[in-house]
Chain A
Amino acid sequence: MKNIKVLGSGCANCKTTVRLIDEVAKEYGVDIQLEKVEAIKDIVSYGVLSTPGVVIDGQVVHSGGIPSKNKIKQWFMQS
């Protein structure tokens, strides 16, 4: 099961990212553990310079802007 963290301090883009990832996961039947990381210190510890950021199984795969559905799909396809 993939562990997915969305890094963001609560702005609309971050919420949309969480929702999108959830939707794509359900659409493709992928089992995920989705968390939101909102504490600044934790966000910064991943070294991202812009939010929303997405971390999958400990690795930063995206930062800045809302990821497209295609991109999210690619993350799930690359197991």
Chain B
Amino acid sequence: MKAVSAVKTFSQKQPLLFLFIAGAVWLALYQLLIPLSESLVSALPINRNSHLGDAFQFFFYDTPKVLMLLTCIVFVMGMINSYFTPERTRALLAKRGEGAANVMAACLGIVTPFCSCSAVPLFIGFVQASVPLGVTFSFLISAPMVNEVALTLLFGLFGWKIALLYMCLGLAVAIVAGWIIGRLKMENHLEDWVRDMPQTTAYIGDDALTLADRISSGFSAVRDIVGKVWPYILAGIAIGAGIHGYVPEDFMVSFMGKDAWWSVPLAVVIGVPMYTNAAGVIPIVQALLAKGAALGTVLAFMMSVIGLSLPETIILRKVLKLRLIATFIGVVACGIMLVGYVFNTFL
């Protein structure tokens, strides 16, 4: 514990130097992962070339790899989040024309910190500052769905192409769905007390954060997020290790799922009432892929689990009338289904 506080104090006194050193150390450790995992396996009384050996190597390699990636990304995001506060995001979006604003909102959803219990204050705050309804929805859709934990895990476990695809498709769904909802002009489906709230101007608030402060935010983010999700990651990788060791390589990357046409809508329908954090869904994703599910179906499932959460919807019921909520869920679910189909067809 003393070492940790010494590092923290150093990071506050010499922020730039700390970042350089930390980056270099991280890179060095990352290079060591493969040799390290191999030597760990060889220390065990099993045949390295057996399935069991493969499974263990996968586990010993992927667990620290993913945890390191996650720590790095969460830390960097924590620093970025300290800049893109909800207040700043709101100020950037207020009174901006739709279309471009939807794109901005969806992108800002990635870098702005968001917790689903804050959905209501955030929604109301946006509305009060004259952020158009559709734009607010674009943000609300992309923020939970396209989050750094999901992207990092997809990248670490399935490669950069899948991570990039998830991000682009997620943004697309957020932009288009938000835009559509905006065009439906459903402002009068906000609860009355919300519409009666006074208009405010979007102020940015106290913004005197130094680099040292942002590093501190990074540390907090790592403690909060990695501290909470690491059990899920371990579980996810353990399942992946079992599959990796015992199932031929091509099977894992089989994009040719022999699914019936109804598998995509089914995945979305099952996913909507489910909610876990982004890390918790990964073990399920691994298992689904191993069972030969098509990648599009699996991505659609993942999006609907973490993007449309029943708890968040229930919370939003306080500010949105039933029709608007139904529209919101309906449009997003359709968008996700479309993503699933397009994917399955073209890959």
Q: Report A's interface with B, CB cutoff 8 A.
A: 8-11, 13-14, 40-41, 43-44, 47-51, 53, 64-66, 68
Q: In chain B between 38 and 52, which residues have their CB closer than 8 angstroms to a CB of chain A? A: none
* Cα distance, A64 to B112, chains bound together (Å): 11
Find chain B residues with CB under 8 A from A49 CB: 85-87, 90, 118, 121-122, 125-126
Whether A50 and B122, one on each chain, are in contact in the complex, defined by CB atoms closer than 8 angstroms, is yes
| Pairs A-B, 6 closest by C-beta atoms | A49-B86, A50-B118, A11-B117, A49-B125, A44-B124, A49-B122
CB 8 Å contact bits of B209-224 with A (1 = contact, 0 = none)? 0000000100010001
Closest-CB distance, A74 to chain B (whole angstroms): 12
Whether A51 and B193, one on each chain, are in contact in the complex, defined by CB atoms closer than 8 angstroms, is no
Determine if B318 is an interface residue (Cβ-Cβ < 8 Å). Answer: yes
Nearest neighbor of B88 in chain A, beta-carbon distance = A49
Nearest neighbor of A64 in chain B, beta-carbon distance = B113
Closest-CB distance, A36 to chain B (whole angstroms): 13
Determine if B197 is an interface residue (Cβ-Cβ < 8 Å). Answer: yes
Residue total for B at the interface (Cβ-Cβ under 8 A)? 24
Q: Report B's interface with A, CB cutoff 8 A.
A: 85-87, 90, 113-115, 117-118, 120-122, 124-126, 193, 197, 200, 216, 220, 224, 315, 318-319
Picked from B114, B126, B193, B224, the residue with its CB within 8 Å of the CB of A66 is B224
Whether A50 and B120, one on each chain, are in contact in the complex, defined by CB atoms closer than 8 angstroms, is no
Find chain B residues with CB under 8 A from A10 CB: 117
Find chain A residues with CB under 8 A from B90 CB: 49
Closest-CB distance, A8 to chain B (whole angstroms): 7
Besides A8-B117, A40-B319, 13 new A-B residue pairs in contact (Cβ under 8 A), listed by A number: A9-B117, A9-B120, A13-B115, A40-B318, A41-B193, A43-B121, A47-B200, A49-B90, A50-B121, A51-B115, A51-B121, A64-B118, A65-B115
Find chain A residues with CB under 8 A from B318 CB: 40
